Structure 1
Amino acid sequence: MGVLGPLLTRRDGDQWAYAIRVRDEHLNQAQVVHGGTITALMDHALSTIAWDRAGRVPCVTVQLNVNFLGTSRAGQLLVARGKVSHEAGSLLFLDGTLHADDILVSTAQAIMKRLEKRD
C-alpha cells in the first residue's frame, strides 16, 4: 500500500469506498493506469470489506478476477466499492467496481477465506 497510497476511505451509505488519486507512478508506458494498480486497489478494497464482514478476522485472497473495461489517467480519482454476495463456511464471495471520476473502468469478483481467530 505504500506505493499505491495514500488510501482514501469514506463511508458511503452502508458500504465503504476506497480510493486513490492517480499519480505518475501508477501509469504504464501508454500513460494510462497500469492493470497492476487497478488489481492491487481492488484486492485491498475487497479484502477489507471481507475482513469487516468476518468480524474483523483476517481474510486472504483465494481468487481475484479483474475485468478491465476502460482506462484512467493521472489526476483522476479511482474509487473502489464492493459487497459480499455470498458466504459458504469460511469463504466469502465478493463483487466489486472501480470508477475513475464516476466512469466505470473495472469490475472484479473475489473469493476470500476467513482465517481462524488467534488468541
Structure 2
Amino acid sequence: MAEGEVPAPPEGFKASNGRGPFSTVNGPIFHRLTDQHVQHAFFAEHRHTNGMGLVHGGMLTAFLDGLLAAAVFRGAERPAVTIHLSVDFLHMARTGEWVIGEARLTRATAEVAFAEGRAFVGTRDVVRATGVFKLMKPRLR
C-alpha cells in the first residue's frame, strides 16, 4: 500500500471532517459513537512513526487529546480546551495497524470537565489517558 493510501476504516467508522489544521495534517481521523463512548481511529502510516518505526508517542498523545476533548464535548455539550493531560504508554503500535481509541466524560462541573480514554490495536492496549478540560462558552454566530 502506498504512503497516504488508507484502507477502508473498521466497521461503523466514518471520516471526521472540520477537525482543524493540526488534526487534518495528522489524519485522516475516523469516528463513531456508541452508547457509552466516543470512538476515533487512524491508520498508522510511516509518517506517524519515530526512528524505530513505531507510532510516535506525540502522535498517540495528540490522538488521545482530541479523543478526550470529543468525549467532553459530547457529554458536556460545550467545547473545551485541555488544562491537563496524563498519558501512560502501555505497548507499541506499528505502521499498517488501525489504532482505535475510546473515551468518555467522567465528570463535569460548571467550568471544568474530566475524561478518560484508551487507544488499542486489536486486543492490546497501546496507551491510556486522563484529562482535565476547561469548558468554554459556545461561540455566538
Answering whether residue 72 of structure 2 is matched by residue 50 of structure 1, we say yes
Aligned residues: 118
Out of 128, 131, 134, the position equivalent to 1:113 is 134
What TM-score do the two structures reach when normalised by structure 2? 0.78
Aligned to 1:12: 34
Identity across the alignment (%)? 26
If asked which structure has higher relative contact order (CA below 8 Å, sep 6+), I would say 1
Q: Distance in 1 between matches of 2:44 and 2:138?
A: 36
Partner secondary structure for residue 92 of structure 1: strand
Equivalent position SS for 1:39 = helix
* TM-score where L is the length of structure 1: 0.92
Residue ranges of structure 1 left out of the alignment (5+ in a row): none
1:17-68 Cα offsets, whole Å, 9 max, x none, are 100000000000000010000001001111111112222x221000001100
CA shift at 1:9, angstroms? 0.8
- Matches of 2:97 and 2:63 in 1, distance apart? 14
1:4, 1:20 within 8 Å by CA — same for their partners in 2?
A: no
Question: CA RMSD, aligned part only?
Answer: 1.2
Q: Equivalents in 2 of 1:104, 1:77: separation in Å?
A: 12
Question: Do residues 3 (structure 1) and 64 (structure 2) align?
Answer: no
Structure with the higher fraction of residues in strand conformation: 1
Letter in 2 for 1:33: V
